[in-house]
Amino acid sequence: MSITGKNGEGEEIPLTNFSNSRWPGIFMMPGATGLDAPPYDLHMDESPNLDGAIFRDARATSREIMIPLYLHGIDRPTIKALKKRLVSSLNPKKGYCILKFVEGDAVPRYLRCYYKSGMEGSEAQDQSGFTWKKFGIQLVAHDPWFYSEDVQVAYWEFGTGEAFLSTTQAFFPLRINAGLVTGSEVQVDNPGDVEAWPRWELTGPIKGFTFTSPDGKSFGITPPSNGSDVVAGNRTLLVDTRPGYKTLRDDQGTNYWPLLDPSPQLWAIPEGESTCTVSIVPGSSSARVRLVFQPRYEGY
């Protein structure tokens, strides 16, 4: 197990292995809490005429974690440096920290959290010494799920369409080619314990598209009546469905959200195997769609 502060870009501090041949500088003691199932809010309806209540829904809430740490130095300057290093790394004003867990199968899991309290310090006899210090750090993971390191990727290339006006034959008699409409059901495997929020990358030219979830939720952009491309050739539109993001922007920063069809539902991929529908109306050449998501897990 390790912890990395400053939005995951700081120094990775190992907590469960020896950092050198003399002594581990900082390591985790027994007694950590909050590292298994997340807490839940239960929603229910009370009835004045019946015993008990009727369950309606459940929602995973923020996860609170406590990790007891032991800091050991070889002299007084060493322990002071260790304390400063830890306090600076976990300062929430400098960003979130990432807890990394690796079990015997060597598959890492990551949990993003913020330091809350626990390093105020105590000089009690059982909490501090000349070359050592104990802390019980309190962390809050507002997103309670553990994430996999591996990003799942699926890729589709849709058939080549023809130019709207022929480029190989005489202008008269006039020949107009309809855009190629391609719709296909695709299998997606989410190995996580809960749903995952995908990021779709669409590379043009694309006249329109619709993505439909296994349970019928959908979002998309209807092809313009003038036959123009929604996503121009050699441009890439990124559809980010993750909570807190929910954006549609291309590689030049153009916002596509106003172009969405009414009542869009930027849906999540359920756990396990499922079938979604990807419908693309390509332009004059091949269109490409790339699906990226990180599986989420209930525990490490």
pLDDT in tens, 253-294: 999 999 999 999 999 999 999 999 988 888 876 788 899 999
Phi-psi category of 34—alpha, beta or left, where left has phi over 0 and alpha has psi -120 to 50? left
Read off the pTM: 0.81
- Detail the DSSP E strand segments found in 47-92: 53-60, 63-72
Cβ atoms of residues 3 and 28 within 8 Å: no
Res 73: pLDDT: 85
Mean pLDDT, the chain, whole residue set: 86
Q: How far apart are CA 136 and CA 29, in angstroms?
A: 9
Question: Quick check: 163 pLDDT over 50?
Answer: no
Question: Quick check: 194 pLDDT over 80?
Answer: yes
Provide the pLDDT confidence category of residue 179 given band limits of 50, 70 and 90: very low
Res 181: pLDDT: 45
Helix, strand, coil % in the chain, rounded to nearest 5: 5, 45, 50
pLDDT in tens, 5-16: 999 999 899 888
pLDDT in tens, 73-129: 888 888 898 899 899 999 999 999 999 999 877 789 999 999 999 999 888 888 888
pLDDT in tens, 15-60: 887 655 556 688 899 999 999 999 999 999 988 888 889 899 999 9
pLDDT in tens, 206-263: 999 999 999 999 999 999 988 888 999 889 999 999 998 999 999 999 999 999 999 9
- Detail the DSSP E strand segments found in the chain: 2-4, 12-14, 26-28, 40-46, 53-60, 63-72, 97-102, 108-117, 132-141, 146-148, 152-158, 182-190, 199-203, 206-212, 218-221, 236-240, 247-250, 272-282, 287-293, 296-297
Give 140's contacts (C-beta < 8 A, 6+ positions apart): 62, 63, 64, 65, 113, 114, 116
Question: Quick check: 198 pLDDT over 90?
Answer: yes
Tokens of 286: 């091949």
